[in-house]
């Protein structure tokens, strides 16, 4: 998820942990963002720009991990 200011908390994800994005993960999602750029005009360089400055992907994006099934059992989901 794009969260350069680290405003999204685990409480907004039903307790799911958030983690840093690795270089390998960026290489995995980058082609999809490039396809979105081609289809919709959303430039990857714009997605990586925060407050007028280009930032590295691991600063702009975070990885949302799945909630363990045991945790969901307690919520009734």
pTM of the model: 0.75
How many CB atoms are closer than 10 A to CB 45? 8
- Asked whether the predicted pLDDT for residue 72 surpasses 90, the reply is no
- Asked whether the predicted pLDDT for residue 15 surpasses 60, the reply is yes
The DSSP-derived string for 19-66 is: EEPPHHHHHHHHHHHHHHHHHH---HHHHTEETTEE--HHHHBEEEPP
pLDDT tens for 21-53 read 999 999 999 999 999 999 999 999 999 999 999
In the chain, what are the domain boundaries? Answer: 10-69
């Amino acid at each position: 998820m794009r969260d350069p200011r680290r405003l999204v908390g685990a409480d907004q994800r039903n307790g799911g942990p958030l983690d840093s994005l690795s270089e390998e993960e960026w290489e995995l999602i980058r082609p999809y963002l490039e396809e979105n750029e081609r289809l919709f005009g959303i430039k990857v360089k714009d997605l990586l720009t925060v407050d007028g400055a280009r930032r590295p992907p691991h600063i702009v994006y975070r990885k949302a991990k799945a909630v363990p099934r045991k945790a969901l059992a307690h919520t009734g989901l």
